């Protein structure tokens, strides 16, 4: 039976006393927001201060409700984030609209503890996620192989993987950057860690790290990865019985039967991939839909975010909140995903239907989940090693960077504790 609007209005006003004391602040996330990226930082710190926030899915680009307090207003002004004061009556009217449409009000109750897996010598601008966290003012801690291998992930709610090559091939950078000081340093550092933990090679070290990351997700952790880390994490997990690295620097392939020994049961998102075992080609497998550093590289287009039911599928809806549904594409060593390689149950969040590739996906493993976004930098379509950092102050409402920050904030809606 459909209740009379007057009853729904009165009921809504009873349900939300914490958001009706005096006024409530609406943080719009559409064209009226002066800085959408820093709005995530405002929401994060409001939760961290013990206040309650709500994410209004599918309303004005995925807007937020915050209590109107002096600290919240001061922080919004400091960050340059636009806020709108709404009355209790206006809030109750909004809740009625939410009730009768494809919207949902999701309480955000716990500021997630964030970790970024990144080498010790990396700079914040080397990675789009770290850059976004710095710009939004969201705190994070850096972890790398020693922390991962000693159960150091258990205290984190959310983990991002820097664009690491978990096959241990250093992203095949030896093809273009042989002799570079930074590459020599990376090789030396990885070999030292492998020796310290008793692994015979860097590929064996990275397989162990990949297994530890999967265990973190199985126990309830939330994983986000971009670029090479997406594809190579699953390749490392599936290659327990084989070696993916070329035997010789001239590109001589490993035993072709290596592909037959891949076990995809342990992989998270992908299955049945055909491997690129030629050391002279800078690609890993046919998981990547664009094959950016190969003669058969595909051009960039744009990808479109899928629409989900906010009430039935709140997590995919949170992960796709944006003021724009069509987003210009951007390259990375792994730019996109071949839909033929996705495991059953993986949810496609965004794709380029013209090229027939997936850009953005989400899935479950055990008690946790993973989200993969292809490409390196949403505002630098053809980012190269050594390029200057992206100035996010020039991209305050970047739809691509918003996808990253959706992932950072969505654990705040989870109430289930991380298993250890």
Give pLDDT tens digits for 349-366: 999 999 999 999 999 999
User: Residue 175: what pLDDT?
Assistant: 64
User: Residue 252: what pLDDT?
Assistant: 54
More confident residue, 127 or 319: 319
Selection from 389, 388, 314 nearest residue 128 by Cα: 389
Q: Is 97 left (phi over 0), alpha (psi -120 to 50) or beta?
A: alpha
Neighbours of 169 (CB within 10 A): 21
Average of per-residue pLDDT values in the chain? 88
User: Residue 173: what pLDDT?
Assistant: 66
Would you say 66 and 25 are in contact if contact means Cβ atoms under 8 Å apart? yes
Task: Name the least confident of 77-86, 180-189, 263-272, 301-310.
Answer: 180-189
User: Residue 122: what pLDDT?
Assistant: 74
Position 10 pLDDT exceeds 50: no
* Percent with pLDDT over 90 in the chain: 72
Give pLDDT tens digits for 398-420: 999 999 999 999 999 964 443 43
DSSP 110: -
Give pLDDT tens digits for 72-92: 999 999 999 999 999 999 999
Rounded Cα gap, residues 150 and 15, in angstroms:
45
DSSP 293: B
User: Burial, 6: exposed, middle or buried (Cβ in 10 Å; 0-12, 13-18, 19+)?
Assistant: exposed
Rounded Cα gap, residues 272 and 261, in angstroms:
11
- What tokens does 13 get? 């006003």
Sheet containing 357-365: give its strands across: 141-143, 114-117, 158-161, 222-226, 368-373, 357-365, 347-352, 302-305, 326-328
The string of DSSP codes covering 36-47 is HHHHHHHHHHHH
Position 2 pLDDT exceeds 80: no
Position 281 pLDDT exceeds 50: yes
User: Residue 101: what pLDDT?
Assistant: 96
Position 172 pLDDT exceeds 80: no
CA 32 centroid distance within chain: 25
Integer CA distances (angstroms), 197 to 158, 202, 208, 314, in order:
25, 11, 10, 41
User: Residue 414: what pLDDT?
Assistant: 60
Question: What pTM does this model have?
Answer: 0.90
For residue 396, what pLDDT band results from cuts at 50, 70 and 90?
very high
Coil vs helix vs strand at 258: helix
Give pLDDT tens digits for 192-250: 999 999 999 999 999 999 999 999 999 999 999 999 999 999 999 999 877 777 554 45
DSSP 133: H
Outline which parts of the chain fall under CATH 3.40.50.880: 114-413
Outline which parts of the chain fall under CATH 3.30.70.790: 5-108
For residue 275, what pLDDT band results from cuts at 50, 70 and 90?
confident
CATH number of 114-413: 3.40.50.880, 1.20.120.160, 3.10.290.10, 1.10.3720.10?
3.40.50.880
Topology of domain 5-108, per CATH? Answer: Alpha-Beta Plaits (3.30.70)
- Nearest 5°: phi and psi at 125? -80, 0
Neighbours of 150 (CB within 10 A): 10
Question: Which residue's entry shows tokens 């039967």?
Answer: 257
User: Residue 258: what pLDDT?
Assistant: 77
**Strand 158-161 relative to strand 302-305, pairing:** unpaired
User: Residue 337: what pLDDT?
Assistant: 98
- Nearest 5°: phi and psi at 169? -100, 10
Coil vs helix vs strand at 34: coil
Position 385 pLDDT exceeds 80: no
Give pLDDT tens digits for 314-342: 999 999 999 999 999 999 999 999 999 99
Position 21 pLDDT exceeds 50: no
């Amino acid at each position: 039976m459909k209740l009379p609007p007057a009853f729904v209005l009165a009921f809504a006003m009873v349900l939300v006393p914490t958001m009706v004391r005096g006024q409530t602040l609406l943080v719009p996330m559409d064209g009226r927001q002066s800085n959408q990226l820093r709005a995530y930082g405002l929401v994060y710190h409001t939760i961290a201060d013990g206040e309650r926030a709500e994410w209004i899915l599918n309303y004005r680009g995925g807007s937020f409700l915050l209590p109107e307090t002096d600290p919240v207003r001061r922080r919004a002004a400091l960050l340059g984030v636009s806020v709108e004061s709404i009355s209790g009556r206006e809030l109750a009217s909004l809740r009625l609209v939410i009730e009768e449409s494809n919207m949902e009000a999701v309480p955000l109750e716990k500021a997630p503890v964030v970790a970024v897996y990144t080498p010790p010598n990396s700079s914040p601008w080397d990675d789009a996620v770290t850059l976004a966290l710095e710009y939004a003012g969201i705190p994070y801690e850096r972890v790398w192989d020693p922390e991962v291998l000693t159960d150091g992930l258990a205290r984190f709610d959310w983990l991002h993987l820097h664009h690491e090559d978990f096959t241990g091939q250093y992203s095949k950078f030896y093809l273009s950057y042989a002799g570079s000081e930074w590459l020599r340093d990376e090789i030396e550092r990885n070999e030292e860690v492998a020796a310290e933990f008793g692994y015979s090679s860097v590929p064996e070290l990275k397989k162990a790290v990949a297994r530890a990351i999967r265990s973190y997700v199985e126990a309830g952790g939330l994983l986000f990865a971009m670029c090479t880390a997406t594809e190579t994490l699953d390749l490392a997990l599936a290659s327990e019985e084989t070696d993916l690295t070329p035997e010789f620097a001239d590109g001589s392939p490993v035993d072709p039967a290596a592909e037959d020994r891949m076990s995809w049961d342990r992989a998270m998102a992908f299955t049945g991939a055909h491997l690129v075992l030629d050391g002279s080609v800078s690609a890993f497998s046919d998981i990547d839909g664009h094959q950016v550093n190969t003669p058969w590289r595909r051009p960039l287009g744009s990808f479109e975010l899928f629409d989900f039911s906010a009430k039935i599928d709140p997590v995919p809806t949170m992960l796709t909140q944006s003021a724009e549904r069509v987003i210009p594409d951007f390259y990375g060593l792994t730019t996109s995903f071949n839909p033929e390689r996705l495991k059953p149950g993986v949810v496609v969040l965004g794709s380029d239907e013209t090229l027939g590739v997936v850009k953005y996906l989400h899935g479950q493993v055990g008690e946790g989940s993973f989200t993969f976004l292809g490409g390196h930098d949403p505002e630098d379509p053809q980012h190269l090693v050594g390029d200057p950092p992206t100035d996010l102050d020039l991209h305050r409402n970047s739809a691509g960077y918003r996808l990253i920050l959706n992932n950072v904030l969505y654990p705040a809606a989870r109430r289930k504790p991380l298993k250890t």
